[in-house]
């Protein structure tokens, strides 16, 4: 959530920064509400101070010999009661204005970082680096490289038809070596992040409205999530949601920062508006598994933390010998809560294209303000900065492994780093 003080004092800065995202917003009404709320707060504080003064004076008069039920004390107490009524009225007005202001601010995205390149769409994103040699087809015998869904079906790793019977389209059932590979990838990634200093977390998969609001998924993206309406619970779209709220409404001791977490969760998304794209395979599902990395850090350390978070995600791809590239998103392609984002795109050899497999973002204090997460800096408290990144999306990692490791004889070679977790060096379709 954006800073109300900035809204009051420099709304033009907010307007310019949001225009970098392609949003043209009139902030006049919001600024007026913020100023009215501040004025009411100042009036209330002044009245409360006056009420406290009168309370002290009543005590002093009585100590000096005035009768507690006498006229001079009664007059002071009457003044104090009038002030209490005025304060109560101002508090009600404040609450109403605060609710209006918060409701509207929750609809506004984060401001882009000064380091984020300007641009209107993904066409303006910047390639920062590439790693590895993308495999090109065809096979030596002249046959084309297959896409992952073709390999998975041929080897009996997935069943989509029965998944539709169980649930609906865009769900998948993993079978045999497919299920074992998914489990191996989850354990491989968690072990790697634990070794790197992340604390493993297994959070609830059902999250409440406050948690989705804190991380920025609500109210804007309600249609993207699955809801259990009777219980005010939602299926989490990403572990970023419960990890943000792990310290909601807390003051973290400064010496504990940075806090780094790694969590595996199933994730659930409606993918509203994406129908017709990636309807086959493991790329765009309603349910998928993901390992998420999350940081809470001091503001002055967040830029370095963003680089380290991204390197930790890249390290997984490199350990799996999967070619990838790092993309810096332009201002017009940023996610709602992000101030700056690197996307990692893995090479899918069968499709002959790079596809996103991780999005590593710094959100500055945007989520921390929504979630009221601070740290103690001397006598003062300050908002932490939060960062998140996929480390990695499991289904997309499996897709890349299938396409990159496909062999002439129909099996799929696995990278050496994964063999201890999977128990074999290749996929053959055996149970």
Q: How far apart are CA 145 and CA 124, in angstroms?
A: 30
Given the residues 170, 260, 340, 396, the one annotated as active site: 396
Question: Catalytic annotation on 396?
Answer: yes
Active site residue 12: no
Rounded to the nearest angstrom, the gap between the alpha carbon of residue 425 and the centroid of all alpha carbons in its chain is 35
Picking from 259, 246, 253, the residue whose alpha carbon sits closest to that of residue 376 is 253
Structure tokens, 168: 């609906």
Catalytic residue, candidates 21, 44, 170, 269: 269
Q: Measured between alpha carbons, how far is 274 from 357 in angstroms, rounded to an integer?
A: 17
Q: C-alpha dihedral over 415, 420, 421, 422, to 10 degrees? A: 70
Is there a catalytic annotation at residue 284? Answer: yes
Q: Which of 41, 50, 318, 356 is catalytic?
A: 356
- What tokens were used for 351? 């499709």
Distance CA 26, CA 36 (A): 17
State how far the alpha carbon of 419 is from the alpha carbons of 120, 184, 313, in Å.
Answer: 43, 9, 20
Q: What angle do CA 282, 286, 291 make, to 5 degrees?
A: 70
The sign of the dihedral angle between the CA atoms of 100, 103, 108, 114 is: positive
Q: How many residues can be counted in the chain?
A: 431
Q: Tell me, yes or no, if 21 is annotated catalytic.
A: no
Strand ranges (DSSP E) for 171-253?
173-174, 199-201, 206-208, 227-228, 233-235, 251-253
**Sign of CA pseudo-dihedral 173, 176, 181, 184:** positive
- The CA distance from 308 to 348, in Å, is 25
User: Of the residues 21, 284, 369, 370, which is catalytic?
Assistant: 284
C-alpha to C-alpha distances, 261 to 141, 189, 202, 258, 264, nearest whole angstrom: 47, 13, 10, 10, 10
CA–CA separation, 322 and 315 (whole Å): 10
Cis peptide before 269 (omega within 30 of 0): no
Residue whose C-alpha is closest to residue 241's, from 256, 255, 258, 224: 224
Q: Which residue has the tokens 């070596």?
A: 177
CA 87 to chain centre: 39
Helix H or strand E segment including 405:
helix 394-405
Contact 211, 235 (CB under 8 A): no
Active site residue 359: yes
User: Which of 211, 359, 361, 390 is the catalytic position?
Assistant: 359
Please give the structure tokens belonging to residue 191: 């072990």
* Residues involved in catalysis: 269, 284, 356, 359, 396
């Amino acid at each position: 959530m954006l800073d109300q003080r900035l809204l009051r004092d420099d709304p033009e800065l907010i307007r310019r920064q949001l225009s970098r995202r392609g949003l043209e917003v009139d902030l006049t009404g919001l600024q007026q509400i913020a100023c009215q709320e501040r004025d009411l707060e100042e009036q209330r504080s002044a009245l409360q101070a006056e009420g406290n003064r009168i309370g002290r004076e009543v005590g002093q008069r009585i100590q000096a010999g005035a009768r507690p039920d006498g006229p001079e004390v009664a007059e002071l107490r009457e003044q104090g009661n009038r002030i209490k009524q005025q304060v109560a009225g101002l508090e009600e007005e404040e609450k109403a204005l605060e609710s209006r202001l918060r409701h509207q601010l929750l609809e506004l995205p984060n401001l882009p970082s000064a380091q984020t390149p300007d641009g209107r769409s993904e066409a303006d994103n910047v390639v920062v680096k590439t790693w590895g040699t993308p495999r090109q087809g065809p096979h030596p015998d002249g046959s084309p490289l297959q896409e992952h869904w073709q390999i998975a079906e041929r080897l009996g790793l997935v069943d989509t038809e029965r998944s539709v019977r169980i649930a609906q389209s865009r769900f998948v059932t993993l079978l045999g070596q497919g299920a074992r590979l998914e489990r191996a990838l989850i354990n491989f990634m968690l072990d790697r992040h634990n070794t790197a200093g992340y604390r493993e977390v297994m959070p609830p998969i059902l999250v409440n409205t406050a948690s989705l609001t804190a991380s920025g998924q609500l109210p804007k993206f309600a249609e993207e999530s699955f809801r259990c309406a009777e219980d005010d619970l939602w299926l989490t779209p990403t572990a970023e949601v419960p990890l943000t709220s792990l310290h909601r409404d807390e003051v973290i001791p400064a010496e504990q920062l940075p806090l780094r977490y790694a969590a595996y969760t199933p994730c659930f998304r409606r993918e509203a508006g994406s129908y017709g794209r990636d309807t086959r395979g493991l790329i765009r599902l309603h349910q998928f598994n993901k390992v998420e990395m999350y940081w809470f850090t001091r503001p002055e350390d967040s830029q370095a933390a963003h680089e380290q978070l991204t390197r930790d995600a890249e390290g997984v791809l490199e350990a799996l010998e999967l070619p990838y590239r790092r993309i810096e998103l332009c201002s017009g392609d940023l996610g709602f809560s992000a101030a700056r984002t690197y996307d990692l795109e893995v090479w899918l050899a069968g499709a002959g294209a790079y596809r996103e497999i991780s999005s590593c973002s710094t959100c500055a204090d945007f989520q921390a303000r929504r979630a009221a997460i601070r740290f103690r800096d001397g006598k003062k408290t300050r908002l932490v900065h939060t960062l998140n990144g996929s480390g990695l999306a499991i289904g997309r990692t499996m897709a890349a492994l299938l396409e990159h490791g496909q062999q002439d004889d129909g099996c799929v070679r696995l990278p050496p780093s994964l063999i201890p977790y999977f128990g074999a060096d290749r996929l053959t379709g055996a149970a």
